[in-house]
Amino acid sequence: MTRQGEGDRRSARESAQNLVRATGGGLLIGLPLLFTQEVWYHGFVLHPLKILFLLSVAFVVVVGYNLTSGFREDSSFFEVLVDSVEAMGLGILVSLVALVLLGRLELDMSLREVAGKVALEAIPIAFGASLARTQLASGEDSPDDDDQARSIGPFGRLFVAAGGALLFSLNVAPTEEPVMLGIEADWWLLLAVMVASIVLTFGLVFYADFQGSRPARPGDSPMDHPVSETLAAYAISLGVSLLLFWSFDRTEGTGLRALLGMTVMLGFVASLGAAVGRLLVGGGEAGAPQEEGAEGTS
């Protein structure tokens, strides 16, 4: 959440604007899953503790993202925590209202079904709310570049990469398609998808000149190297994909060959999300400096 420039307290108007912005961002990101039948279905089929686990992971990601993106150096952890709780709470409330408006929640439904659907749909909405507060604020509300120049380091970027991977793959993981694609693909096709995922995300983050991209030059740390960061982000993407398949009960009774194929296919989506996440938080001070040839300065 952004801070008021002069005073020590936001006005009620600014707070209201923040909430409306967060609601809009949450709906923008959460809309595809709100209209996905498989997610409603998983809301009552999945074990409630698995849904709670997913919700907890999402909360950690939201806190991590808020810590690493869009906050000034003097933001306290408590403020970040407050904003994260608000983002998750908003996600739950918006999810509840949207599902009622879509006719997916009715009075004769069991509490388990209602809670499961609302919790699952709240995850992308909470992500969207956080993104809206940190990335979609107007120039007046957004932190200045000087303010935002908190160096998050290579591991911070990888944390955000995990969040991006989770957000993107969450849109696809509940559906049948990644399972079908993974099972039907030949081994050479899966290898080609792996190579494509790595090359594409390397290009997006280090070459394509997006806002937030960085020159492909190594920093001091071994993890602060474009190749190692790309490979680590891809590995994280595969891990996130596997975690989601487990969460959505896709791993039980599934053979290793099928599981590999499914993970690689969903990993393609997750790796793109990881790349977008790293672009959003930019380079900070880590990696190569951006002043010269800084095609991708933010």
Partner 1 sequence: MRHNALEWAALTVSALAIGLVAILLMLEGLGATVPTDPALALRPEEGRAIALGWSIPGTLTNAGRDAAEDVVVEVKAMVDGEEETSEIEIPFLPGGSSVDVELGFSDRPEGAIQSRLVGYSVP
Which residues bind to partner 1, rule: CB under 8 A? Answer: 3-4, 8-12, 15-16, 19, 41, 44-45, 47-49, 51-52, 55, 59, 79, 82, 85-90, 92-93, 96, 108-116, 118-119, 122, 249
Closest distance between partner 1 and the C-beta of residue 85, in Å?
Answer: 5
Output the smallest distance, CB 77 to partner 1, in A. Answer: 13
Smallest gap from Cβ 101 to partner 1, in A, equals 17
| 82 versus 227: smaller Cβ distance to partner 1 | 82
Q: How far is the CB of 272 from partner 1 (least distance, A)?
A: 29
Cα(92)–Cα(129) distance, rounded to whole angstroms?
Answer: 11
Question: Which of 49, 256 has the CB closer to partner 1?
Answer: 49
Residue 118 vs 276, nearer CB to partner 1: 118
One-letter amino acid of 218? P
Spatial neighbors of 115 by CB under 8 A, at least 6 apart, are: 48, 51
**Using an 8 Å Cβ cutoff, are 136 and 25 in contact?**
yes
Question: How far is residue 175's CA from residue 26's CA, in Å, rounded to a whole number?
Answer: 21
User: What's the min distance (Å) between Cβ of 47 and partner 1?
Assistant: 6
Rounded Cα distance between 93 and 97, Å, is 6
- Cβ-based burial of 20 (10 A; exposed 0-12, middle 13-18, buried ≥19): exposed
Q: Supply the DSSP symbol for 144.
A: P
Nearest CB to partner 1, comparing residues 1 and 272: 1
42: which 2 tokens? Answer: 């998983």
8 A C-beta contact, residue 21 and residue 132: yes
CB-wise, 56 or 211, nearer to partner 1?
56
Which of left, alpha, beta for 212 (phi over 0: left; psi -120 to 50: alpha)?
left
Closer CB to partner 1, 12 or 256, in the complex: 12
Least distance in angstroms from the C-beta of 94 to partner 1: 10
